[in-house]
Chain A
Amino acid sequence: MKRTKIQTLAIHALLVLAVFIICLPVILSLSISTQSETQALSFPPRLIPSSHLVSNYKTAWNTVHLGRMMFNSAFIAISVTIGKVIMSLLAAFAFTHFEFKGKNLLFFLILISLLLPVPVRIVALFNVVGKLGWLNHYAGLIVPFWASATGTFLFIQRFKTVPSELIDASKMDGCRPMQYFFRILLPLTKSTIGALSVIEFIYIWNQYLWPLMATNSDNMRVVQIGIKMLMNAESSNNWGVIMAGVVLTMIPPLVVFFVMQDSFMKGFALQSEK
């Protein structure tokens, strides 16, 4: 199936077009975030960057306490990610390396949890977290998300590919289960841990509905809600400042994404095989 030169050229052209369409909104937001209020509101729209970069970013940072929100989002996303990784590692270890009563039932219950995304249980979840005194509190945004069916399945799949001989040999050496887990299994699982971490960090950083309901004071808000607050605060459509906030909010997940791109792709590939 040899391609002609024209076909190759056509593929490049189509791909460039796709890249252009996909990147356009973000490139524009970068440019607008450097413009003054009048420039950003000019008609016809001005597309080239201007000189208000620093002042816009300062205003965005100060009007809605974006710095505090960035910290909240980062703290919450990292705490959820660490908790999820630990819990799913332990659960996956139990399911793959032991025989015990009720194993199938417990596995089935974890599977069922996939049918219960937040909106399905939000009314009572709100009450439960309220009774624990965790509304407007980091705990309410972190602890409910620690259990992970996705993570458990991902690690089960990884553990299944570890050769049985390794367990047999360790048992002969008198290795206890947790020693085997820490010394042999964990080092072999590094790339899967990386993959799950990227997926979960981005997922939690981008959450919107639950943080909106579970917090009510400015100093507990997360950065996604900050975007909305910025748009309301700058109701005069000061798009330069709003886009500066948008750009700041995009940076952390994009950095994580580009740095960990390879392990992320691998993790995704595993996910669809479950």
Chain B
Amino acid sequence: MKQSTFKADVLPYVLLLPTFIILIVFLFYPAIETFRLSLFTVHPFTGAERFAGLYNFKNIFTNSEYLHSFGISFLFTLAVVLLGLAFSMMIALLLNERIKGMKYYRSFLIWPYALSPAIAGALFNFLFNPANGIIGYFTGHRTWLTEGSTAFLIIILAAVWKNLGYNIVFYLTALRNVPRDALEAASIDGAGPVRRFFSITFAFLSPTTFFLLVMNTTYAYFSSFGLIDVLTEGGPARSTNILIYQLYRDFFVNSKTGYAAAESLVLFLLVVGITVLQFQTTEKKVHYQ
């Protein structure tokens, strides 16, 4: 049913004005301007602009450092998303069992949501530091953060750890909507817990899984900046130098404006791609009405 409305000519525009002033000045204009700058080279000191066509894009995609960064960002994101969703789904399933103390378990499992990526970086830095990191002590291996491959594993672990709470909350909410009678009927038909999970629960969770897929992807690509800056600064030897860190360095440290703008545009295309993918899959496969 359609909602009743008020009659007014100007008022709705007045109500929307503050939001649109902010959107235009700080979102739309900067976005368009960034895209424009990606076609220019900008002098680091004078700020003089010169049209350069696709020069910046050609430059970034022939730069082995950038391509390396592109590759590890993809791997990093893939790992953060897969591990993050798998662990949080398992924990949410356990939490969904009707047991005593569930409320307390829930609180103590989701609260890292309130912590920042930078805090996660500091905590994992302490756990794995080469001097006396506690993990180093118990594993007898003290070079976790000083070797590229293990440092890469640790930023994945830290990023997954930090986002578990967020994912668990969404899965818990979704699990409440799984019809108990469907599960019980399947149980009577002789389906074991594993069958029941894959044929019923998993299907009901899929809209949430797709939503979380997008949120975790953007989290891994963008929000992990603070984590990297505190934990590894992109090192050792660029092994954790993901795209957002590379962008920060090119723009802020090296003042390569046009080049950095081109990197921004690549990130934008990634966001658009993921979002389009989400809309398509949510419409086709994962609608259960």
Question: Which residues of A pack against B, CB within 8 Å?
Answer: 1, 3, 8, 11-12, 14-15, 18-19, 22-23, 25-26, 28-29, 32, 40-45, 47, 86-88, 90-91, 93-94, 96-100, 103, 106, 109-110, 113-129, 143-144, 146-147, 152, 160, 164, 167-168, 171, 177-178, 180, 202, 205-209, 212-213, 224-225, 227-228, 231, 237, 239, 242-243, 246, 249-250, 253-254, 256-258, 261, 265, 268-269, 272
Contacts and interface: CB of A to CB of B under 8 A. Distances in A.
Nearest to A166: B4
B169 interface: yes
Interface stretch (B26-34, B58-66, B143-151): B26-34
A79 B182 CA distance: 48
Contacts, number: 281
B25 A128 contact: yes
B82 interface: no
Given A1-B187, A91-B19, A98-B8, A272 B211 contact: yes
Given A98-B6, A122-B264, A123-B251, A256 B114 contact: yes
Interface residues of B, number: 94
B76 interface: no
B232 to A, nearest CB: 12
Contacts of B25: 128, 144
Nearest to A43: B132
Interface string B234-260: 000000000010011001100001001
Given A22-B108, A115-B271, A126-B251, 8 more contacts: A12-B99, A119-B264, A123-B260, A167-B5, A208-B117, A231-B122, A242-B122, A257-B113
A13 to B, nearest CB: 10
Contacts of B107: 258, 261
B16 interface: yes
The A interface, classified by DSSP as helix, strand, loop or mixed, is helix
Nearest to A251: B114
A86 B124 CA distance: 38
Contacts of B211: 272
Contact of A115 (B94, B165, B173, B268): B268
A177 B99 CA distance: 48
Nearest to A152: B19
Closest 9 CB pairs of A and B: A208-B226, A206-B116, A124-B33, A147-B22, A94-B15, A144-B26, A124-B30, A257-B114, A121-B30
B261 interface: yes
B158 to A, nearest CB: 9
B31 A164 contact: no
B186 to A, nearest CB: 10
6 contacts: A88-B19, A90-B15, A124-B34, A177-B6, A253-B116, A257-B113
Contacts of B105: 15, 19
A268 B226 contact: no
A128 B135 CA distance: 45
B118 interface: yes
Contact of B229 (A29, A128, A202, A208): A208
A116 to B, nearest CB: 5
Contact of A119 (B1, B18, B121, B267): B267
Given A8-B99, A90-B15, A257-B113, A29 B123 contact: yes
